[in-house]
Amino acid sequence: MTNHHSLRLLFVSNPIGPLGSGLGGGVELTLRNIATELGRRGHRLTIVATQGSLDWGMLLVEIAGTPQMSAQTQGRDAPTIIPASSVLAKFWDYVRQVQTEFDLIVNFAYDWLPFYLTPFLTCPVAHLVSMGSLTTAMDEIIEQVAVKFPGTIGVHSQAQAATFTFGDRCRCVKNGIDLSLYEFCGEPEPSMGWVGRIAPEKGLEDAVAASQLTGIPLKIMGFLQHEEYWQQILRDYPDAPITYEGFLSTAELQQRLRRCRALLMTPRWVEAFGNVAIEALACGVPVIAYRRGGPAEIIEDGKTGFLVEPDSVAGLVEAMGKVNEIDRYACRQRVEEEYSTTAMGDRMEQWFYDICSRNKGFLM
Ligand code: UDP
């Protein structure tokens, strides 16, 4: 790919919160990893994000405004709401003004407006969709873009694509992480780990129930998004040997995660990918996950963890009992093969080149 042109890329973050806050979930790490890898490959990048975002040493345009509400908290019929002083609207106003300086805009937001605006812009837009189907309004607008601008809708897993009626029009680019930031640990402690936003769609209560039933300690790491939900879990499982470790930086997260015997992934929804699955595997930590969504495509049952019947606490408990059968080194190897920043960079870069050549007759 070295003979390819260097692209001028404008990455537009999600409008939920500043980069580094945790509010945006896996999208924050995804954006950072793609930006870092494409920058390393000689592409020129600018990131547009909410004011207060962490400085990752890349060109960052910070914009202040009212954040959007997270889409996963709304029902299927939820209307599209744009608040006063919308940071999302301001992002895209900025995009409109500077678009001629770029070859490609990359949208990381799961919001109606960027899809709606796509035909009004002269610069092509790649949309990296971070969740499965949630509302009719979003399905409609994403489908319109998928039809009008073929190849511009990217997803992280086949299962995520399958939640949309237009799933066959989506391009699966998976995801990736910087393996040098995750240290392998061959000799774990007895405890299990759970990593993610503490929010109902993540199903933390099942992991806590499994911990209470087995007496195996569970370390919980992640952004506390729903305080009420968390308090309910504490009331329902008073005897579970759990500890809340807080929302950690990647460096701290991997330090604690790598010492776990396994990671429990218990989402209620179709997880689009599940960054935490590859972060655990990178440390040599097997993953016990429900057989649904992204994790079911990442984990090889019996080799890098166990896939159990969705929503079955008994299934989790059974898998926890045989987790020592998993070769931790095989877990790390799996990430090296498929989810390194190089592997991910190849997929993303090719996707971006394909869009540019299709939309602008860009010479490769
Ligand atoms: N994460 C973190 N610190 C923590 C726990 C989690 O930075 O203490 C990050 C983790 O690295 C991952 C993200 O939170 O990138 C969760 O992403 P995932 O794709 O698993 O789920 P999402 O929140 O996007 O639904």
Q: Are residues 218 and 246 in the same domain?
A: yes
Query: Are 20 and 97 contained in the same domain?
Result: yes
Q: Are residues 129 and 248 both part of a single domain? A: no
Residues 75, 130: one domain? yes
What residue spans of 12-109 are helical by DSSP H? 26-40, 87-98
How remote is the CA of residue 266 from the centroid of ligand 1, in Å?
14
Work out which ligand 1 atom sits closest to the CA atom of 276.
20
Tokens of 92: 């895209």
In a domain, 318, yes or no: yes
Give the pLDDT confidence score for residue 362 in this predicted structure: 47
Number of domains in the chain: 2
Quick one: which of 204, 334, 200, 219 has its CA closest to 278?
A: 334
Q: Are residues 165 and 290 in the same domain?
A: no
The pLDDT value given to residue 360: 62
Residue to probe by mutation, ligand 1, list 258, 275, 278, most atoms within 8 Å of CB? 275
Question: How confident is the model at residue 364, as a pLDDT?
Answer: 41
- Measured CA to CA, the distance from residue 43 to residue 283 in angstroms comes to 29
* Pair (209, 292) in one structural domain: yes
57 and 21 both lie in a single domain: yes
Edge-to-edge strand order for the sheet containing 171-172? 59-63, 44-50, 8-12, 104-107, 125-128, 153-155, 171-172
CA distances from 277 to 26, 40, 254, 308 (A): 11, 25, 12, 15
In the reported structure, the alpha carbon of residue 196 is separated from the centroid of ligand 1 by a whole-number distance in angstroms of 5
Residues 350, 325 share a domain: no
185 and 138 co-located in one domain: no
Question: pLDDT tens per residue, the chain (364 residues)?
Answer: 445 789 999 999 999 999 999 999 999 999 999 999 999 999 999 999 999 999 999 999 999 999 998 777 778 999 999 999 999 999 999 999 999 999 999 999 999 999 999 999 999 999 999 999 999 999 999 999 999 999 999 999 999 999 999 999 999 999 999 999 999 999 999 999 999 999 999 999 999 999 999 999 999 999 999 999 999 999 999 999 999 999 999 999 999 999 999 999 999 999 999 999 999 999 999 999 999 999 999 999 999 999 999 999 999 999 999 999 999 999 999 999 999 999 999 999 999 999 999 876 544 4
> Are residue 94 and residue 219 in the same domain, yes or no?
no
Query: What's this model's pTM, rounded to 2 decimal places?
Result: 0.95
Tell me the CATH number at 312: 3.40.50.2000
Question: Which pLDDT score is estimated for 359?
Answer: 77
Shared domain check, 350 and 236: no
Within a domain: 1: no
Instruction: Give the pLDDT of residue 69.
Output: 87
Q: Nearest to residue 195, comparing CAs of 103, 119, 271?
A: 271
Predicted pLDDT of residue 199: 96
Q: Quote the domain boundaries for residue 47.
A: 8-176+340-358
* 348 domain-assigned: yes
Does residue 169 share a domain with residue 201?
Answer: no
Per-residue pLDDT at 1: 44
Query: In this structure, is residue 364 part of a structural domain?
Result: no
Ligand 1 mean position to 357 CA, how many Å? 33
Q: Say what the pLDDT of residue 2 is.
A: 45
